[in-house]
Structure 1
């Protein structure tokens, strides 16, 4: 059930501290996972840096040719800015967060292209890498977006907007931008779970390839799905793929999207899922694997160490 990770192309990032991470995958509310405070629909919060190397293309997956780029630590890039209407959301109850994507003149942007079937992917995660949410906001005709959020626990978070907008010349620009948010109240940070090659969600067991991941290099990472000790072969398409995988770096909350590979063929996904993993800096990452069965999206968290 454990499939080895293979090196693909050794690609070393050229700029120190600036990285390419592919943009959001798609996203929909997921549920499940063994992570306290993880609700398959959440976000994050931390410092700011910029990033912008082009994302590589996934093999054979629809809508994956122009994945949003960046490490998610900048609020502004390429003439676009992510502007939340508030800097905090209430604790312990569902809430909505309004935001806009503005152009260089500060005007709301309304021209977007679908990315993995959605015009916008919105992520939330707490600074201790708990409370992950991935939702798909709705946009009003004049530009404001509204992201529906599940109840969040107190703490410092970071919210990410992943999208492909058109610039003044009509050229698509894929980006992932973020801002810090706060959920008021007394926060109790949770320790990061140790690295593991297995994780569980809603009765499913996921096994990750065990080879050492190296920063700045492209790997093929395999995730194998089983239930009750048997291989799962009935995964349903989710955002035009059989699984969606995002990663957040411990400490600065840098964002990375791991590109799914292969093609979709009805409700027959699994048991093995492969991803192009390019994690740009060393350290610990919290992965969130989202997959769908029986119309339900499951979210499985896992910690990996990158050298």
Structure 2
């Protein structure tokens, strides 16, 4: 659950077929560390081409559809070269997106300034990573994973490509991944309206939402008890939120209001949330200051 003009601010169609989700990122050891790793666009945290925004929101028209739990949709398929990665060490995770003809897709459209967003999360909603892979000429994507602890995970590829008619197709597809070894399950933290990351405190205006209803969320960022006003643009916004549903690991993204202009974001960040399933969601929120990516996570309830 975790504590960025862009193409669409997606996945989240949170509920994802229609809407939006929340916070992002972290690698668990039952949890790894909470800060972004040097040289990588992903956050880790303890387990315990951009286009102009429309109507003050990012890319509403090109959001991925579905809940991210299918490996194939609209004739496109997420094809990892392996479904197992070693425990306790960084490694490269490679995959392709194939079309209806089975051939690798090599043409993608920017989504939040990136051609591909890759997510990894463990079944207990710990061990989350958000990475921006690179693609080789043959359509093979490589995501540099941080060390992962044993357990069952789900890997997601979020992207925008085009169909035969040239129409943009925003998708989020996923596959199960295993990290060998004996897992140490981390209990899901209780719902809260506060979260921390690298000395920063985040306060949510609410941690309870109604199923399928659009609701506003305000996140206030502080440090040492003082309002933070030096947030830097990250993926063309001041915060990127991703949410995962307890149990089935459905994924959702949240729409931020406004646009990022200069290194003076904060202290308040406003989002529109719509979560499609009842239950608990772990929300990951990523933001950047001084060139360092921070990730916070918080549990919210949908009823």
- Shorter-normalised TM-score: what interval? 0.7 to 0.9
2: distance between equivalents of 1:116 and 1:25? 15
Partners of 2:26 and 2:246 in 1: CA distance: 22
CA distance in 2, matches of 1:219, 1:62: 16
For 2:28 and 2:247, how far apart are their aligned partners in 1?
A: 21
Partners of 1:272 and 1:247 lie apart in 2 by 19
- Cα 1:65–1:294, aligned 2, differ >3 Å: closer, same or farther? farther
Per the alignment, do residues 26 and 245 of structure 1 end up closer, same or farther by CA in structure 2, a change over 3 Å counting? closer
Shift of 1:68: 2.0
Q: Return the alpha-carbon distance in structure 1 between the equivalents of residues 23 and 279 of structure 2.
A: 25
CA drift of 1:60 comes to 2.3
CA distance 1:37–1:183, change in 2 (3 Å): same
Q: How far apart in 2 are the matches of 1:63 and 1:283?
A: 27
Q: Give the secondary-structure state (helix, strand or coil) at the position aligned to 2:181.
A: coil
* Residue aligning to 1:144: 140
Corresponding position of 1:20: 17
Q: Distance in 1 between matches of 2:240 and 2:181?
A: 32
Structure 1, unmatched stretches of 5+, are 1-12, 44-56
Equivalent runs, 1:90-101 vs 2, <5 Å: 90-101=86-97
Which structure has more RCO (C-alpha within 8 Å, separation ≥ 6)? Answer: 2
> Residue 209 of structure 2 aligns to a residue in which SS?
coil
Q: Distance in 1 between matches of 2:23 and 2:31?
A: 23
Residue in 2 aligned with 1:36?
Answer: 31
TM-score (norm 1): 0.84
Alignment of 1:191 with 2:177, yes or no, is no
Q: How does 1:264-275 map to 2 (within 5 A)?
A: 264-275=260-271
Q: How does 1:84-163 map to 2 (within 5 A)?
A: 84-163=80-159
Measure, in 1, the Cα distance between the counterparts of 2:29 and 2:96.
33
Q: Alignment RMSD, CA only?
A: 2.6
Give 1:35 deviation, angstroms: 8.0
Q: Distance in 2 between matches of 1:25 and 1:84?
A: 26
Which of 213, 232, 240 is the matching residue for 1:244?
A: 240
Partner of 1:147, secondary structure, is strand
Partner SS, residue 305 of structure 1? strand
Tell me which residue corresponds to 2:47.
none
How far 1:22 sits from its partner (Å)? 5.0
Q: Distance in 2 between matches of 1:204 and 1:32?
A: 18
* Closer/same/farther in 2, CA of residues 126 and 98 from structure 1, 3 Å limit: same
| Distance verdict in 2 for CA 1:34–1:258, change over 3 Å | farther
